[in-house]
Amino acid sequence: MEKLWTTSEAAACLGVPETEIERLVKSGVLTGYKLGGKFLRFRPEQVEALKGRVNRPTQSQPAEVLTDSFPVRISEFFYFNDFYIVSTLLVGGLLAYVLWIGQ
């Protein structure tokens, strides 16, 4: 399964505020996918295709900063790092097993 980008990652790629990404989704310019009915995600190739076609904020328009709540950030951490977490647990379990048998 491919990893999808968060709203903040898509905004960073395009150099626009997160509210602009949400506006692009509502207007149908960018396709967003809801995960768990709550989290909006984007395919990287679709976001990259929009580069240069969206209006970037000027100096007089400061980019709006949105922060996610702690539970959302934890959920995203586990979503994007699932492979590394599972791999670490498996290697640690195998190492513990090998050390236990070696006694």
**3-class DSSP state of 86:** helix
Between the CA atoms of 35, 64, 22 and 38, what dihedral angle is there, to the nearest 10 degrees?
20
Q: How many alpha carbons fall within 13 Å on the CB side of residue 41?
A: 15
Beta-carbon contacts of 90 under 8 Å, excluding residues fewer than 6 positions away, are none
Check if the beta carbon of residue 24 is closer than 8 Å to that of residue 56: no
Domain covering 1-66: architecture: Orthogonal Bundle (1.10)
Please, where are the H alpha helices in the chain? Answer: 7-14, 18-27, 44-49, 70-80, 82-101
* Interval 37-91: pLDDT, tens: 777 898 899 888 888 777 665 555 555 555 567 887 888 888 888 889 999 999 9
Where are the chain's structural domains? Answer: 1-66, 68-103
* Interval 27-41: pLDDT, tens: 888 888 887 777 789
